[in-house]
Amino acid sequence: MIERKITNSKVLVTGVAGFIGSNLANDLLLNDNQVIGLDSFITGKRENIASILEHPNFTFVEGDIRDREICDHVCNGVDYVLHQAALGSVPRSIEDPFKTNDININGFLTMLISARDAKVKSFVYATSSSVYGTEKRLPKVEEQIGDPLSPYAITKSVNEQYAKVFGGLYGVKTIGLRYFNVFGAQQDPDGAYAAAIPKFIRQFVRHESPIIHGDGTQSRDFTYIDNVIQANNLAAISTNPDAHNEVFNVAFGESTNLDELVQLLQELLVKFDPEIANVEIKYGPERVGDVRHSLASIVKSTTLLGYKPEQDLRTGLETAIAWYWENLH
């Protein structure tokens, strides 16, 4: 089967200095694309794009997605927009709902308007499994969402509605990708809002006890970064009219609870440092706003986009851990 990728095109990646954005940019450059990267460094890190800054097909623009002039500039002449820029983290949105709303909704709308005016071929954007909120049925199906449990979830839900309206009113081809707990190389292990996997890895490497928030039975559909890259490529170049102005789950389609995750991390890290076997796992209070169980149906993604995730949790963790081991020492 011929792999369907964006090739020989001009692509804008917003949030390019973030974990997902930087991985997307690397992949696009490997496939003979011109890449425009936009980032404000509110959460993105310069070191994530250090290796591509001098690449002849990469142009970096430092700027904010809330700045209309900047958005117009970076969208000019672009074929595809892969919009990853956002202020992530449920806990951060609970602490500062205004800033999360401002960046994730006003910034999204500004970028969407600029993409519309530039007449881009497609606008692919990152949304989140957090939009499922109070919906308890598993697996999560795109058309069945509950009430949001955090300001962050609200912003992603509003993004989806704006994208659909812009598709209907202005003919912009939008596709939203609901990411489920993405992990992989270059994901930040530091700070109060670090994702679970890189944070746990760093703690193990330092012989510190990972702290599971809750009883460890809460579950997630952990998704390796390569699967996310595949989905973005497929969405951008999709010619299936049934996929346009829709949202899709991007996940592996398997559920793992946090106890299982930590045990697997410990098992894989012991190969690098036998002492990690002695690190004790601890438990803390559940975090407000967290969805308890998350498992995606990927039927719609598979059927309409041709999405076929190839990296499961264990395979992805083996690759990610090797990267972290090298970079955390």
d(CA 69, CA 245): 26
% of the chain surpassing 90 pLDDT? 89
Q: CA triplet 230, 328, 321: central angle to 5 degrees? A: 40
Query: Which 3 state secondary structure label does DSSP give 20?
Result: helix
Residue 46 tokens, joined: 């310069």
Give one word for 41, left, alpha or beta, with left for phi > 0 and alpha for psi -120 to 50. Answer: left
Overall residue count recorded for the chain in this entry: 329
Where along the chain do its domains lie? 10-182+225-251+292-310
Nearest to residue 126, comparing CAs of 91, 150, 156, 99?
156
Q: Tell me if 230 sits within 8 A of 309, measured CB to CB.
A: yes
Average pLDDT (83-87) is 97
Question: For the chain, what is the mean pLDDT?
Answer: 94
pLDDT over 70 for what percent of the chain? Answer: 97
Q: Judging by beta carbons within 10 Å of its beta carbon (0-12, 13-18, 19+), is residue 312 exposed, middle or buried?
A: middle
Q: How confident is the model at residue 195 (pLDDT cuts 50, 70, 90)?
A: confident
Across 80-94, average pLDDT: 95
For residue 2, pLDDT over 70 is answered with no
Q: Is 244 exposed, middle or buried (0-12, 13-18, 19+ CB in 10 A)?
A: middle
Which CATH code of 3.10.28.10, 3.40.50.720, 3.40.50.2000, 3.90.420.10 fits the domain covering 10-182+225-251+292-310? Answer: 3.40.50.720
What mean pLDDT do residues 159-183 have?
A: 97
- Buried b / exposed e along 267-278 (16+ C-beta atoms within 10 A): ebbeebeeebee
pLDDT in tens, 47-71: 999 999 999 999 999 999 999 999 9
127, 140 contact by CB (below 8 A)? no
Segment 140-167 shows an average pLDDT of 97
pLDDT value for 1: 40
- Cβ–Cβ under 8 Å, residues 273 and 321: no
- pLDDT in the model for residue 269: 96
Coil, strand, or helix at residue 123?
Answer: strand
196-211 mean pLDDT = 93
Condensed to tens digits (0 to 9), the pLDDT of residues 249-264 reads: 999 999 999 999 999 9
Residues noted as catalytic: 152
Task: Please state, in angstroms and as integers, the Cα–Cα distance from residue 271 to each residue in 259, 267, 318, following that order.
Answer: 19, 7, 11
User: First vs last Cα of the chain: how many Å apart?
Assistant: 40
User: For residue 310, what are its two tokens?
Assistant: 């190839």
Mean pLDDT, residues 96-121: 98
Locate the DSSP E strands across 32-85.
Answer: 34-39, 58-62, 80-83
pLDDT of res. 264: 96
Averaged pLDDT for residues 226-240: 97
DSSP string, 72-84: HHHHTT-SEEEE-
3 pLDDT band (50/70/90 cuts)? low
Backbone conformation region of residue 234, classed left if phi is above 0, alpha if psi is from -120 to 50, else beta? alpha
Distance CA 171, CA 242 (A): 14
Cβ atoms of 311 and 224 within 8 Å: the answer is yes
